[in-house]
Structure formats: structure tokens, C-alpha cells
Structure 1
Amino acid sequence: MKKLMTLLLLFACLAGMAQVKKSPTDTLPVRGFCIGAPATDRLDAFIKFIGEELAPRNINTLILRIDYNYQFKSHPELADNNALSQAQVKQLVAICKKHQIRLIPQINLLGHQSWAGHIGNLLRVYPEFDETPWVKMPADYKWPNPDGLYCKSYCPLHPGVHKIVFDLVDEICDAFETDAFHAGMDEVFYIGEAQCPRCGGRDKAELYAGEVWTLRNHLAAKGRQLWIWGDRLIDGKETGLGAWEASMNNTSRAVDLVPKDIMVCDWHYERPDKTPVYFAMKGIHVITCPWRMPDNALIQLQDMYDFRKSATKEMKPRFEGMMQTVWSDAGSFLDEFYGIARKDNNGAAATKPPTNNTASNCFRAVFPK
């Protein structure tokens, strides 16, 4: 591991010394944008945004975080209230086809089955899938907490979970007419818990890799590619990246166990770390993912050009490009992007962020028209 990290740092330094200046309009295989799917009342505005803002910036990949914002026919009990209909999704499909944008839906799998004090739809309806049923959702969520509760996970070894999950994945992929699916799988703090009757005592890296393989194999049988976030495949202690942007619960060894034909979305938001090199050296295809800091995002973009320029012919194809992530719903981002005043809980106009570090500013910086 230490030798590999030394090579990683050497490669990154050499790339930084090259000082290759590339225009953001130069071709990268993936020029992506990831955002929460719009609510029904913002659908038309978001479709307009795709045509007037994404397409002119040569965005060729759009990941929509759907989760349960879709009127599932296979499992209507899991759909959100006022979720997108199939006809509304087809409007998104049409605008993306018109502009040759690859449209990829995301449903958070394995982890992120709860948020703060609220349980997600899957575990709310099917509580038997919960990896940690003894951990109760607090009325007033705080972090840190005695249970180590960040987000709940489903148990990857529960005999009934994949029947439900595969139904959802197949239906949403069919609706989006897509050849890829993003499964999330980030920030998995609960996995292989000792009290779980199925997972207790098992290797956490093997459990994580097993779930990646299970999802990958199901998708591959229908000609679809699996995308995931990359944080669980990085050693948080060895790299100093900690428990969110990397793993502190021993899943990182899964990087050597997962299939090589997945796409890893390598997100770093506070620092432009050079970990795409690590994934490429492991034989995995990778894209770099910023969020809201334009200065960091431009460094990450330049790094991706430099990595591709200085890589061997074997490694170059693994450096796939960049995808900006936006961690809000589409409506909130559109309001920020277009300067539409939002109201606070008292009905007063919300104040503008006193910083350049916003998702919309980052978007304009890395993807100018």
C-alpha cells in the first residue's frame, strides 16, 4: 500500500510540473453533471436548463438522483408523493437525446437508507432489510452520536433485498432508456455489523465488493454499466482523507476485489486530491468530481487533462473526465443559478451566500459556454 501511495504522489507531482494548459472545451470522454431530479413543478424549467445551459457547454452526461422520485409500477409503495411520472421522465429522455446527452439515473443502494432523523422509503416499507434494526432513529439527530448513526444501510446478505432492488433498477433504467445506472454506495458506515445475524464477523471489504459484483452482474446481463462513488475504496487513515471522502471501516481493500468495468466517481470537495491516479493504477475507470469550490474544481479539471497527457497508453483510457456534483434538488440549484430570490421560513427573502464557493459558480467555472 505504501509503495503504491508513493507512486501515486510521484505521478501527481510529475503531472503538476507539466503545466499543460488546456481549455475546458477540449474533449474529455465524460463531461458530466449530477443533480437531484426535479420536482414535478420544476420539470419544465429543468428541461429548459438542459437545452440552454448543459448542451451549449458540451455536457455529454447527466446523472439524475432519482431515488424514489418516480411513480414505480413494480413497487408503488416505495414512490414519493408527487413523484415524476413515466411521461415526465420521457420528456427528460427526449431533451437529452436531442442534445446527445447520456442520461443516467441514480438510486442510493446499500448505504444512505436514512438521512438525519428520517428513514428512507426502502427501510420504512421493508424494515426487515435494515442492517442495524437495533439502532433507532432519533427525534433530534446529532452527530457524533453513541450509535455512530450517519445513514442507515440495508443488509447486503438479506435474502429478499435484491428482488426489490432489481425491480426498481430495471424499471428506472427502462424508463430512462439508459445503458448505465448509478448505485451511489458512498459513505457506507454500517456494513458487516457484529450484531447482524447474516453479516456479523464477515470481512467488510468482501461484503462491499460482493454487493458491487451483485449489482454489476445484474446490470451487465442487460448491457448496462454500473457507476458508483469511490470513497469506500480509499483508505481514509493511510491517505489522511478521513471517514467521509474515504473509508475508516476497512472497506478500502475492496478496490482490489471489485470488477474493472465499473465507473468510479471520485469526489473530493475540500481539496483537489490526486486519487484518480490511484484508481487508474488499479485498472478502474474514473472521473473526478468537484462540488462548489471553483478554484479546486479547476485544479481537478487541469489534473485530469495532465493525467491523460502523461499517462501510458494502457492507463490513459481510464482517466475518463469530470463530473460536477450538485447536492440539492434541481429547483434549488436553478434558483441559485438564475438569481431567483428564495424565501426563508418566515417568508423573508433569503440572503445570498457571502462566498464564491457555490455550486452555480463552480458550474460556470468548469463548464463555460
Structure 2
Amino acid sequence: MIDNSVFGPDFGTLLNGNGTLGVAVSGGGDSVALLYLLAEWGRRPLHVFHVNHGIHPDSGQWAHSVAVHADRLGLAFTGLAWTGDKPATGLSAAARTARHALLADAARAAGIRVLCLAHTADDIAEAAYMRDLGSNVGSPQTWSPSPAWPQGRGVFLCRPLLGHSRAGLRDFLRARNLTWIDDPANDNPLSLRARARQALAGQAPEPARQGKRVMRAEVEGLLHDPEGWAALGLLRFDAEAFRRLPREAALHLLVTAAVCAGGGDRLPRGPSVERLYGAMSDGQAHTLAGARIRQTRGIIHVFREAGDIGRHGPPRQEAVWDGRFEFDQTVVVTATGHDRSRLDEVGNAFLRTLPAQLRASLPMVTGAGPHLAVPLYGVSGQKHNETVTTTCWVLPRFRASACRVSCETDL
């Protein structure tokens, strides 16, 4: 049986920040155990979130059961629902995408930065089993940014139970006469994850690995940014230092940089990434996840593929543009590479100070007249656009995704 005292030091080390913690609770044994363990730990306010996917006939009852647990503990509860049409194929992946987007939006709305999830050592073992059968599923990490983008900007996921088993958590629940729900999907033989769970049943899971991320100091040592252009979305790395990284860590860093610079929402995996890693050399340009990657003069450049920006369609009102820039108000935005004929002289002068990789991929707000919605570095007397304030998420998102995080205060 698991004693809560075993978890206290783990929680205190990992969750050493302040403010309310979010807890995602499905109603299953793992998440119900996490909820009660955190409540018994008792050092932080908790806010319980539940997503009703509307797939199973009993999903409404499951949502009610989570609300009852939250009420019993005197905790805030937010019920969320995945509404609309459901896909005929890929339902599980679509549900996961919708779930993370709903949770991220709700957490941000509640001012919550850290959302706790109940993955266990069994989930790590099952993911490894699935990869052995050809799946590209990743292994859960103790800390990671929300995979929902751009909804998850600034939201981090913490999985504090990766060192513990599913069986141990159920012992904890039984000792307290607590109930949970067993999702029938976990026994569906058509599901690879369910087959992995069945194949590994009864086996003791192995301890969690450190993962592919590297220490923050190492990442900062790799970054080459003397002019500060990373603040506009251009990531550059020292090629020699990059090649000294373990291959797995280097691959993860490369695809993370591409997704962040490209404004995408999922990490590419598979042979294309392996080929890119092997093919990078001086002068050759490659594309990956909406980004261009080029190594020249000992520096690896990763930047937005300007020709790909058109996939978003014509200019429209939005608060987050191209997955890279967030505005303090809803504005109509287009790329500087589309039409700069009406851009004022200050804006054009600023663009001339930038490397070619950036000139066509910055946000240009339309309205009274096109103007750049970025800090005007290097232009005399112009420190910021007077109308619109913007945040470029490329560099902070890259740091959050690439760096190894040991505790909440590392975020």
C-alpha cells in the first residue's frame, strides 16, 4: 500500500512555486489518486478540471463523479465538454487534442500556470511497448509545456507520479474506501494502448528516464544570438556544440526548434528527422515543420519558412498570428513578405536592418496603414509600435520545450 507520506517530499520538491495548481481528473483510478494525494499534501490551493468527451454513454456520470470528489474535498471544479462532430477515424487522437486545448484554455482563464496529470510508470512502459510495435508515441515526461498550441502558451504540465505504479495508486484508493471509474476503452483490443496495457499487466514498471531534454545552461550555451534576433523568431545554434550533444538530445532540440520557429503544434518524428540530422552541412537548406534550417559558417539557422505562411489564408482578425506572435488586442495581420508597399519608412528602415531570414516573416498590422507590430530594435527613436503591443513566443516556447526542468521554479 502507498502511504501519502511517500509523496510529500516528491510534491514539495517538484511543486515548489506559489499559487493555485490545476489537476486534470478523468475519474479513473490514477487521476482520482493524484487528486487525493495532492489534497492530503495540502500545501497549495487546487482547482479540479474534467473534460467530458461525449463519446461514452456514461460520460455524463463520469463528469458528475469527478465533481463529487472535488466537492468532498472543498475544491474548485470546472467541467469542460468536447462538443461538435467527432471524427469517424482517429477518434482517440482527436479526443486527446481537444482535451489538451480545453484544459489549456481553462487553466489560462483561471490564471493557472501548472496543470498536474496522473501518468504513472506504467504509462512509460506502455509507451515503450507501443514504440517497439512501430508507434511514434512519445514517453511522458515529469515536466513539459502544454502540447496545445497556441491555447497552451504559458501553461505547463507536471506529472508527479511517474515514479509510481498504477497498482500502488489503487492500493492507496482502496485503503481510503475511494471509488474510481474503469474506462472500457482500456480493454478495447482494437486499441494499441489497450493491448500494451494488457501485455504488460502484472509486470513491475521500470523507473522513469531523464528524457531527451538537456540542462538549461547547455541550451543557453548552444544559442548564438549576439544581435537579439531570437526575440523576433530567428533561432541560431553553434553547430560544433550541437554536434557534441547525444544524438537523441540533438534530434529533440532540432525538431523543437523547427516547430517553435515554424509556429506549429506537433513535433515531427520518423525518418525525415533522421535524414535531416545527417544531411545538415554548410550551405544546404532544408524544411521541417514550417521552418527552414540551414547551416552556414558554423552556425545552424532555424527560421520561419515565409512561403508557408499563406496556409493560414487571407488576413483576418486574430490575437495570435502564425503560432508565433501574440497581440494585446484583436487585429488584422498579414506577413511582411506579402505586400510592403504601404509600410511606412520607419518600418521599411527597420526591415533593412534585419537578416534576410526575418524580413518576410514578421507580422504587419493593417488598418489606418500597415505597420510592424514588433519592437523596432535598431531604429532611432522607435522602441515600440505605438498602437499594438506584441509578444513573440518562439524563443520562450523553445526554452520551455528544450530545457530539462527539475522543479516548478525552473520554469
TM-score (norm 2): 0.28
Higher relative contact order (CA 8 A, sep 6+): 1
Normalization by structure 1: what TM-score?
A: 0.30
Q: Which has the larger radius of gyration?
A: 2
